[in-house]
Structure 1
C-alpha cells in the first residue's frame, strides 16, 4: 500500500475506489488465487440457488394445482398432498443448506481478503498458502461477530413489526396514517442499512483487533462516525449493483425472458463475472474503509504490533500492547 496511514483520512468516495483498484491490480496474483478458491465458488452457489429454487418451487406449484383439481376422496389426492409436503421440506432444507454454505464461504473470503490487505499494509511476506492456513482461525471470530449482528437484526425486525402493527392500528389507512407508515418504513430501511454497515466494518475489526462479537460491533459504531456518508454511499451502490445482477440473472437465465439459449448463456456468464468482481472489490473496499476510519480518528495502527497480531494466527501469538498505547493509540499532531 503506497499511502501512509495519516494520508488515508483524506480519501473520499472516489479515492477509496481508486486505492482499492490499485491494491487489487498490484497484488492481482494473490487476489486471483483467493478468488478462485473462495469467491468463485461463492458466486456459483449464489447464482445456482436461483435456478434450483425456481425448479423446486414451480414443481410444488404444479402439484398444488393438480391437488386443487383432484377429488378429496380420490387416492391420488392423498398421494399429491404427501408429495407436496415432502417437496416443501426439501425446498426449505435446500434453502438452509444454501444459506449455510454461502455464509461459510463469505466469512472465509472476508477473512482471506482482510488478512491479505493487513499483511500488505504491514509489509509482511504474503502467500496463498499462508493466507489459507490463517483463514480457518479467523473464521471463528467472524462467525461470532455475524451471530451477534444476526441477533441484533432479528430483534430490530421484531420490534419494527410490532411498532408497525401498533401504528397501523392507531392511525388506520387514512391519508395521515399512510404518511406515517411510509416515514416509518424509510426509517426502518435506514436502520437496516446502518446495521449492515456496522457489521461489515465489525468483520474487519474482528480480524485486525483483539475484539470480536458484540465488542467489535461497538468498536465499529465508534469508528464509522465522521465517515458514515462514504460508508453508506458504498453500501448502497454495491447493494444496488448486487440487486441488479440478481434481477438480470433471474429474468434472462432463470425465467429465460429472451427465449434464447445464446442470450441465456451469455447473460449467465456476464452475471457470474460481475458478481465475483463485485464481491472481491466489496471486501477490499470495506477493509480500506476501516483503515480510513482509523486514520480519520487519529488512531495509530502500529505496523510491527499489527504484524505480531497477524502472526498470532499462525500459533505464534504475541499479545498486543494496550489499545491506547499502540493499536488504537491517538496520534498527537
Structure 2
C-alpha cells in the first residue's frame, strides 16, 4: 500500500480494489507462496467437496427412486433401505470432515494474509518462513472469533425463523403475503451482509489488536461505521463473483458430461486457479478495509507499535500492555 495513513480515509470502492491489487502485485512472491501452501489447498478442498457431495446425492436419489418401485417388505427393499441409510451416514461424515478441514485451513489462510498485509504496511522485514511461524499462534485467537460469529449467526437465524413464524400466524393468507415476504427477505439479506462485514473486520482486528471473540466483533462493528455501504458493496461483489465461479464449476465440470474428460479437467484447473485468486484477493481486501476504516475514524496507526505487536507472535518482543499496543487517536 503506497498511501499514508491519513490518506487512507479517502479510499473508496474502486480504490480499495486498487490498493489490494497493488499490494499483491508488489509482493507477488510471498503471496504466491501463501497461495500455493494454504489458499490453493483450501480452494481444492472446496471444489472437491462440491463434486463429492453431488456424487453422494446422485447415488442416494437413484436408490430412493429404485426403492419407490420396490415392493415393501421384500429382501431387496430392506437391502436398498439399508444402503440409503449408509449413504446418508457417509454423506454426513464426509460433510463433518470437510467443514473441519476447511475451517482450519481457512483460519490459517486468514492469519497468514492479514499478517502479511500488516507487515507490508509497517515496512517490517517479511519472509515466508516468518509468516508460517506466526500462523499457528494467531489461528487460535481467530478460532475464538469465528466461534463467536457462528453464535451470532445462529442467533440471527433463530430470530429470523421466529419472525417468519409470527408473520405466518398473524398474516396468513392475506393479500400482503407477497409484499411482506419480499420485504422480510430484503431485510434478512441486509442483516446477513452486515454480519458478514463485521465477521471480516473482526478477523483482522483479532490479528492486529489484542481483542478477539465478541470483543473483536464489537470493534469491527464500530470500525465499519461510516463505511458500511462501501464494505457491503465490496463483499457483495466478491460474493457474486464467487457464486458465478461456483455455477461455472457446476455447469462445466460437474454437469459437463457432454464434454470430454480432458476438457472437464482443464475447466476444473481454471476454476481452481480463479477460486484461489478470488480467495486471496478477498483476504487482502478485508485487511485494506480495516486500514481505511481506521483512517476514517482518525485512529492513527503507530507503525512502530503495530510492528511490535506483530513481532510478539514471533517472540521478538515482550508482550506489551493494551494501552501500549492499541492505536492512538489521530486528530486532524
Normalising by structure 2, we get a TM-score of: 0.96
Give the unaligned 5+ runs of structure 1: none
Whether contact under 8 Å (2:306, 2:325) holds in the other structure is no
CA deviations on 1:41-78 (whole Å, 9 max, x unpaired) are: 00101111111111111111111122222222211211
The whole-number CA distance in structure 2 between the counterparts of 1:101 and 1:162 is 32
- Find the counterpart in structure 1 of residue 120 from structure 2: 120
TM superposition shift of 1:273: 1.6
Whether contact under 8 Å (1:320, 1:327) holds in the other structure is no
Whether contact under 8 Å (1:39, 1:279) holds in the other structure is yes
| Secondary structure of the corresponding residue to residue 71 of structure 1 | coil
Whether contact under 8 Å (1:299, 1:327) holds in the other structure is no
The whole-number CA distance in structure 2 between the counterparts of 1:154 and 1:319 is 34
Within 5 Å, give how 1:76-225 maps onto structure 2: 76-225=76-225
TM superposition shift of 1:96: 1.2
Whether contact under 8 Å (2:38, 2:108) holds in the other structure is yes
- Find the counterpart in structure 2 of residue 282 from structure 1: 282
- Find the counterpart in structure 2 of residue 328 from structure 1: 327
The whole-number CA distance in structure 2 between the counterparts of 1:115 and 1:308 is 12
- Find the counterpart in structure 2 of residue 26 from structure 1: 26
| Secondary structure of the corresponding residue to residue 176 of structure 2 | helix
Give the unaligned 5+ runs of structure 2: none
CA deviations on 1:152-190 (whole Å, 9 max, x unpaired) are: 000110110111011012111332122112101110110
CA deviations on 1:70-112 (whole Å, 9 max, x unpaired) are: 2222112111111111110100111111111111111111100
The whole-number CA distance in structure 2 between the counterparts of 1:16 and 1:107 is 23
Whether contact under 8 Å (1:17, 1:285) holds in the other structure is yes
Whether contact under 8 Å (2:210, 2:322) holds in the other structure is no
TM superposition shift of 1:307: 1.1
Within 5 Å, give how 1:3-18 maps onto structure 2: 3-18=3-18
Within 5 Å, give how 1:259-298 maps onto structure 2: 259-298=259-298
- Segment of structure 1 superposing worse, 261-270 or 296-305: 261-270
The whole-number CA distance in structure 1 between the counterparts of 2:317 and 2:192 is 36
| Secondary structure of the corresponding residue to residue 204 of structure 1 | helix
Inter-CA distance 322–109: structure 2 relative to 1 (3 Å threshold): closer
CA RMSD for the aligned pairs? 1.4
**Count of residues in Structure 1 that have an aligned counterpart in Structure 2:** 332
The whole-number CA distance in structure 1 between the counterparts of 2:183 and 2:318 is 50
Normalising by structure 1, we get a TM-score of: 0.96
- Find the counterpart in structure 1 of residue 64 from structure 2: 64
CA deviations on 1:118-155 (whole Å, 9 max, x unpaired) are: 11111111111111111011000111000000000001
TM superposition shift of 1:320: 3.6
Whether contact under 8 Å (2:53, 2:91) holds in the other structure is yes
| Secondary structure of the corresponding residue to residue 256 of structure 2 | coil
The whole-number CA distance in structure 1 between the counterparts of 2:325 and 2:34 is 30
Whether contact under 8 Å (2:209, 2:325) holds in the other structure is no
TM superposition shift of 1:31: 0.3
The whole-number CA distance in structure 1 between the counterparts of 2:212 and 2:93 is 30
